[in-house]
Amino acid sequence: MVFVLGLCVMLLKASADVGSIITSSVFENMLKHRNDAACEGKGFYTYDAFITAAKAFPAFGTTGDATTQKRELAAFFGQTSHETTGGWSSAPDGPYAWGYCSVREGSNTASTGYYGRGPIQLTHDYNYRDAGSAIGADLINQPDLVATDAVISFKTAIWFWMTAQGNKPSSHDVITNRWTPSAADTSAGRVAGYGVITNIINGGLECGKGQNDQVADRIGFYKRYCDLFGVAYGDNLDCYNQQPFA
């Protein structure tokens, strides 16, 4: 009995390890063009930085069964790859092999200001303040740490992913089946699935507007990563008919 219990604990620990799903070679295959010469962020996003950041959030990529864990990681990288994409329709290996190409939003190079930086393209002073408070970094006075320290950069993205804000659930709770839509959500067409994560991240600009390229791009990245992990996509991938969160 002791042996069986010990084996179960070992198996549980083995499955609850982001690095056992996204190994270094898997990371390179997922983001195979991130260090291309044409990418503004070449050399910035490293595997070790990702793993170090992930360990600061024990529930990230380790919640639920193996399928749920893989689907969460596919969703996280699907969304963040869209935010940092350098791909185009005829790009080598396809447009969805070009995630994590950029670090800074557009042509911004300033070390000050709260423009988009990092995998989630963290924006707004309140997000820099709250993310910094959560991870122990002074991002109000040093916002450019999100673009110069890869561990901090990944941590801000995972923090955003794991954190509910206002009437928005966390992306983590959505993808791990821990969110139940309220009556208001249901009335607004916001149903559980990858699509509502897009709504959480950028619903005001992308959701409730019918089919559009931005949402389709997020779905394309997500599907590629699900395919690499060998998991089904789940239902409700888009937010074309969802009203944005108020």
Catalytic residue IDs: 83
CA distance 10 to 186: 40
CA-closest candidate to residue 58, choices 69, 49, 43: 69
CA-closest candidate to residue 155, choices 51, 75, 77: 51
What Rg do the C-alpha atoms of the chain give, in angstroms?
A: 18
Residue 222's contacts (CB-CB under 8 Å, 6 or more residues apart) are 74, 75, 78, 79, 194, 233, 237
CA distance 111 to 126: 17
| Alpha helices for 136-245 (secondary structure H) | 145-148, 150-162, 171-175, 183-187, 194-206, 213-229
Contact 47, 149 (CB under 8 A): no
Residue 104 phi, psi (nearest 5)? -105, 150
CA distance 119 to 111: 17
CA distance 155 to 137: 10
On the 0-12 / 13-18 / 19+ scale of CB atoms within 10 A, 126 is exposed
CA distance 133 to 139: 8
